[in-house]
Amino acid sequence: MDWVAGLPPGGDRSYNACLVIINRFSKTPIFLPCHKDDTAMDTALLIWNRVVSWTGIFTNIISDRDPKFTSALWTNLHQLFGTKLSFSTAYHPQTDGLAEE
């Protein structure tokens, strides 16, 4: 899971970023338009409404150390759902390679 930011505003809501989620089993990409200044709550709701309702709750998430993923809200959500959150190592984006490509 990673963000692509700095995109030109587009769509009726002027999205300027994209959240990229890769299903590591099927290699299926999911691209969610969003805003670069979305909060952790905005991101959690986006994932819940657009992904979890379709795929079910994740068992493991690999992401960079973005503040949205290290917030107390995000940590509590993972504890609530029993999801394991793993962070890629700094300067080693290959850990989250599918989302980085």
Q: What is the pLDDT of residue 37?
A: 92
For residues 98 and 50, which has the higher predicted lDDT (pLDDT)? 50
Asked if residue 57 lies in contact with residue 81, where contact means CB atoms within 8 angstroms, the answer is yes
What DSSP designation does 71 have? S
For residues 42 and 73, which has the higher predicted lDDT (pLDDT)? 42
d(CA 92, CA 65): 12
pTM score, whole prediction:
0.73
Pairing mode, if any, of strands 2-10 and 15-22?
Answer: antiparallel
Architecture in CATH of 2-100: 2-Layer Sandwich (3.30)
pLDDT, tens only, 81-90: 888 878 777 6
Domain ranges of the chain: 2-100
The alpha-carbon radius of gyration of the chain (Å, integer) is 13
The mean pLDDT of the chain is 82
In 3D space, the residue among 84, 33, 94, 43 whose CA is nearest the CA of residue 64 turns out to be 94
